Homo-oligomer: A and B are copies of this chain.
C-alpha cells in the first residue's frame, strides 16, 4: 500500500521535491500548507511560476533578466554608459545594486569558466561583451567575479581579450570586511589587502 492516500498529493510532493534543497518531507509540508490556503492563493503561485518561465527575457545588451528586450538598467539614461561591470549572474547584479555605490552598466556572463564543470568561454556571453567594448563608448570594464580559481581564470581570459582595446580594466577590491577584526581575516585576504592598500586621504573623502 502506498503511504500517500491521494495521488494528487503524491504528485504535488513529487514535483515540489524536484526543486533544489527541497526534500520529500519539506515538499509534503509545503503541499499540506497549500491545501489550507485559498484557491486563489495557490493559483497566484502557480501562475507566477509559469508566467515567469514563459515570458522572461534576457536583455540583449547586458543579458540580465528582463521583462523586455532591453533591461531597465540599460535603458536608464541616468546610468553611466562608459563603465561596464562584469558579473557571473543576476544575483550579483542585485547584490551590487543594493549597495547603491554603482551607477554604470552591467554585463552578465551567465557563468564562469570552469573546465571541471565543462563550461568554456563559448558558453558565456563573452563575444557580446567584446562587441560592447568595440563600440568605443566604454572607458572602463570592472571585473566583479568570485575570488576563486575559476573567477581568476575568467578574469585573465577576459583581460587578454580586452587589453587590445583602449579600455581601463579594473577589478573589485579584496580585503578585510568592514567591521571585521583583523585577527579573524584569512591570510590570503589580509595579504591582498596590504598589497592593494591605498592612500588614507582617499578613504577619508568617502
* B-binding residues in A (CB < 8 A): 1-9, 11-12, 14-16, 18-22, 26, 28-35, 37, 39, 41-56, 59, 64-67, 71-73, 76, 89-91, 93-94, 97-98
Please tell me if the beta carbons of B9 and A20 are within 8 angstroms of each other in the complex.
no
A1 touching B48 by the CB < 8 A rule? no
Q: How far is the CA of A140 from the CA of B102 in the complex (A)?
A: 71
Most chain B CB atoms below 10 A, which of A44, A47, A50, A89: A50
Give bound CA distance, A163 to B138, whole Å.
Answer: 85
Contact of A42 with B35 at beta-carbon distance under 8 Å, contacts A5-B73, A28-B91, A90-B5 already known? no
- Interfacial chain B residues near A59, Cβ < 8 Å: 5
- Docked-complex contact B29 and A56, CB < 8 angstroms: no
Chain B residues with CB under 8 Å of A43's CB are: 50, 53
Pick from B15, B41, B72: contact of A1, CB under 8 Å: B72
Bound: A35/B51 CA distance, A: 11
29 pairs, CB–CB < 8 Å, chain A vs chain B: A1-B72, A1-B73, A2-B72, A5-B66, A6-B56, A6-B65, A6-B67, A7-B67, A8-B56, A8-B67, A12-B52, A15-B49, A16-B45, A18-B45, A19-B30, A19-B34, A19-B45, A20-B29, A20-B30, A20-B33, A21-B26, A32-B89, A32-B90, A35-B52, A42-B49, A42-B50, A42-B53, A43-B53, A46-B49
Determine the distance from Cα of A18 to Cα of B37 in the docked complex, in whole angstroms.
Answer: 11
- Picked from B20, B35, B47, B71, the residue with its CB within 8 Å of the CB of A53 is B35
A89 and B32 CA atoms in complex are apart in Å by: 10
A25 vs chain B, min Cβ distance (A): 9
CB–CB A64/B5 < 8 A? yes
Q: A53 and B66: CB pair below 8 A? A: no
